[in-house]
Amino acid sequence: VRALWLEDRRLIFREDAPEPAAGGEAMVRVSCAGICNTDLELLRGYYPFTGVPGHEFVGVVEASPEATWLGRRVVGEINAVCGACAACGAGRRNHCERRSVLGIRARDGAFGERLRLPAANLHLVPDELADEAAIFVEPLAAALEIQEQVAFSPGQRVVVVGDGKLGQLVARTLALTGVDLVAVGRHRAKLERLEAAGIATAPAACVPERRADVVVECTGNSEGLAFALKTVRPAGTVVLKSTYRGEATLNVSALVVDEVRLVGSRCGPFAPALALLAQRRIDVGPLVEARYPLSEGLDAFDHAARSGVLKVLLTP
Amino acid sequence: VRALWLEDRRLIFREDAPEPAAGGEAMVRVSCAGICNTDLELLRGYYPFTGVPGHEFVGVVEASPEATWLGRRVVGEINAVCGACAACGAGRRNHCERRSVLGIRARDGAFGERLRLPAANLHLVPDELADEAAIFVEPLAAALEIQEQVAFSPGQRVVVVGDGKLGQLVARTLALTGVDLVAVGRHRAKLERLEAAGIATAPAACVPERRADVVVECTGNSEGLAFALKTVRPAGTVVLKSTYRGEATLNVSALVVDEVRLVGSRCGPFAPALALLAQRRIDVGPLVEARYPLSEGLDAFDHAARSGVLKVLLTP
C-alpha cells in the first residue's frame, strides 16, 4: 500500500509499504492526517522509529472486532496499551510499560492509506465536525492534559511560551478558563492568529520576570525553557509541553530556593477535546496552513518544517 | 560580641563582632545553635554572604517590642519579610521579594551570642522540649514543607535519597504518614539510625527503577538527582530538598514523555514541627553528633563537614 516510510532518519514515499495486519484490532482507512512537531523530530532522530509515521488522523473504520464501529468516522488515542502492567492497573494507561504508540513507537502510523488501532482507542467524530477540524483532536487533547495536571483558577497569571502548533492550541484551551493569559512568540503571522482568537500576546522582553503563576513552555528549545524559568513566580509552576533535543541544563538550586514546580506533560483526554471542537468553542480553521496528497508527503514535510508554518495536512 | 564571622568564604571566630541592633525587632540570647549543610555550602561560596552565619537556634528573648516575649524560650522562622510585596500579599511570605534570611542573606545569624528577628517570627518552645531537640525545629519544618506541597496517601511508595541531616528528618516525618517508605544512603552508621527509628533502608542498587510514586532528593549532589529521576515512576513526583552547587543537566524530554513532576522545596511550617517534637513522635536525640563551644566553632565546622557526620551543635 501507499505510505510515507521513515528509516534511518530518512523519509520516503512507498507504493509498496506493508499492509497493516489488523489482528484483533480495528482497521481504519485514513481520510486526513496532520504533521506534528514530533514527526519532524522523529526525522531528526529524536527516537529511533522505523515504519510509517503519523499520529494525528481522522478516518473511517473498515474492519473491527466490534461491529458497531464499522463505517464510523473516528479519531484515535495513540497509545496502545497492555492493560496488565502496574501503570495500566493504576489507571495511567498512557504510561503503559509495554505500550506501542501510533507512528512513534513499534506501530505504523497515519501517513498511509490505512492504520490499525485497538477498538478501545477509537472515538466517534460527531457529524458536525469536519475532517480538517477532527485531526486536531489529538493535539488538543495534549493541550487539555495541562488542566488534568495543574489546577487553574480565574485571574491567575498564565504565560504560554511559543506560538507554534502546540502553543496555539494550549493558548486557546487556557483562554477558556478565565485565567489572565498572555502568549509569547516570535512569528508575526502566528501571533496575529492568536490575537484574532482574542488572546493577548506580548514580546518576550515585555513580560515581567518572576510574576506568572503558571508558565507553559511549548517551544521545545532551551531559550524557551530559560525564559519560562525566568518568568514564573516563586512557588509557581512551569509546564513542559514539548520534548527537547538532547539534554538541558538547569539551575537546580534556583528551583529549590524558589520552590518552583516543573511538570512534564504529554498525551491528554480525547473526549473533552472532541466536545470543545464540536461546540465550536475552539476554532482550529486558522491553524491549517496547507494540504498535500500523500504522494507529495515529502514536500508536505518540507513545508511543515519551515519557520512560521502551522498545521500541514496530508490526504491519501 | 563573640561570634563566628564569614567573609570571602573564610570563617573566623571574632571577639569583636558587631553587636546586633534590635531596631523594632526582638533580641534573642542564643542558647544553642546547629550547623546545617547550608552553612557548609555558604563557606564554599554557594551564596555571597558576609556576617554571622547560622539559622538553626533556640534562645531566650532579652528584648522585644512585645513584652509578652520577654524571658521566653523561643525558636524563630528565618525569613524576615516586608509584608507588602506581591508574595507577602499572596500569603507566600517565605518568598518575600525583599526578605532577609537569618545567617544566609543580609541578616546576621545564630552563631553568636545574640541575634535579632522580628517578633512575628518567634515561636514559643514548650517546657518539655530540651534545647537540643528544639534546635531541630527549623530543619524539621523544612522536612514538613514537603507535605504542604505534595499530597501523600497511605501505601504510596516513597523513596528518600540521602541519609544525612535532612534525609534523616524527611524520612522520620514521612514515616508518620503511613506511606511505604524506603531510605537510601551510603553511610552505615546513618542508615542504622534510620533503622533504629523503624525506617526501612536499602542499597541504591536494590531499589527498583521507575516504581516510586514520590522520591525525595536530599543529597544535593548530581548522582542523587540522577538516581531520583531513575527511581520515580511515570507521572510520579521528585521533590528537590537540597540545593546544588552549580548547574545540573537534565534530560528534559524524559520528564515530558514520563510526565514527571519536579518540586523544589525549601522552608516549612514551624508549628507542626514543634508539635511533633513536643509529642515525642519524632526522636532527634540520635542525630546529635557533637557539641562545641562557640569559641571552638571552626573545629565544629570541620567536624560537621566530615563524611558521615550528622548534627553538630554550638553553644555560646
pLDDT (tens digit, 9 = 90+) per residue, B26-44?
A: 999 999 999 999 999 999 8
Question: B266–A259: do the CB atoms touch at under 8 Å?
Answer: yes
Residue B13 bridge partners (DSSP): B4
Q: What is the pLDDT of residues A152-203, one digit of tens each?
A: 999 999 999 999 999 999 999 999 999 999 999 999 999 999 999 999 999 9
pLDDT at B22 exceeding the cut of 80 = no
Question: A253–B86: do the CB atoms touch at under 8 Å?
Answer: no
Backbone CA torsion sign across A54, A59, A63, A67: positive
Percent of chain B predicted with pLDDT > 90: 91
| Nearest C-alpha neighbor of A293 from the set A112, A137, A24, A78 | A112
- Torsions phi, psi of A111, nearest 5? -90, 55
pTM, whole model, 2 decimals? 0.94
Question: B258–A264: do the CB atoms touch at under 8 Å?
Answer: yes
If DSSP codes are grouped into helix, strand and coil, which group holds residue A239?
strand
pLDDT at B45 exceeding the cut of 90 = no
| Nearest C-alpha neighbor of A131 from the set A275, A32, A219, A217 | A32
Q: Mutating which of A180, A244, A252 best tests the B interface, going by the most B Cβ atoms within 10 A?
A: A252
A–B CB contacts, 8 A cutoff, strictly below: 122
* Residue B283 grid coordinates: 526522636
Q: Mutating which of A101, A170, A259 best tests the B interface, going by the most B Cβ atoms within 10 A?
A: A259
User: B-chain residues within 8 Å CB-CB of A265?
Assistant: 256, 259
Question: B241–A249: do the CB atoms touch at under 8 Å?
Answer: no
Neighbours of B286 (CB within 10 A): 15
The strand pair at B122-124 and B73-76 is best described as antiparallel
CB A210 within 8 A of CB A230: yes
User: A-chain residues within 8 Å CB-CB of B233?
Assistant: 86-87, 95
What pLDDT does residue B252 have? 87
Q: What is the pLDDT of residues B150-174, one digit of tens each?
A: 999 999 999 999 999 999 999 999 9
Q: Which residue has the cell 522585644?
A: B64
Q: Mutating which of B259, B260, B263, B265 best tests the A interface, going by the most A Cβ atoms within 10 A?
A: B259
* Residue A52 grid coordinates: 510509517
Nearest chain A Cα distance for residue B134, angstroms: 24
How far is B96 from B230, CA to CA, in rounded Å? 34
Q: Nearest Cβ partner of B260 from A211, A248, A264?
A: A264
| Nearest C-alpha neighbor of B230 from the set B203, B264, B200, B260 | B260
What pLDDT does residue B201 have? 98
CB B54 within 8 A of CB B112: yes
User: A-chain residues within 8 Å CB-CB of B263?
Assistant: 259, 261-262
Cβ-proximal residues to A68 (8 Å cutoff; 6+ apart), any chain: none
Burial class of residue A251 in the structure, from the number of CB atoms within 10 Å of its CB (0-12 exposed, 13-18 middle, 19+ buried): middle
User: A-chain residues within 8 Å CB-CB of B86?
Assistant: 211, 233
Amino acid identity at B199? I
Residue A105 bridge partners (DSSP): A101
Cβ-proximal residues to A35 (8 Å cutoff; 6+ apart), any chain: A54, A56, A300, A301, A304, A311, A312, A313, A314
What pLDDT does residue A243 have? 80
How far is A240 from B261, CA to CA, in rounded Å? 10
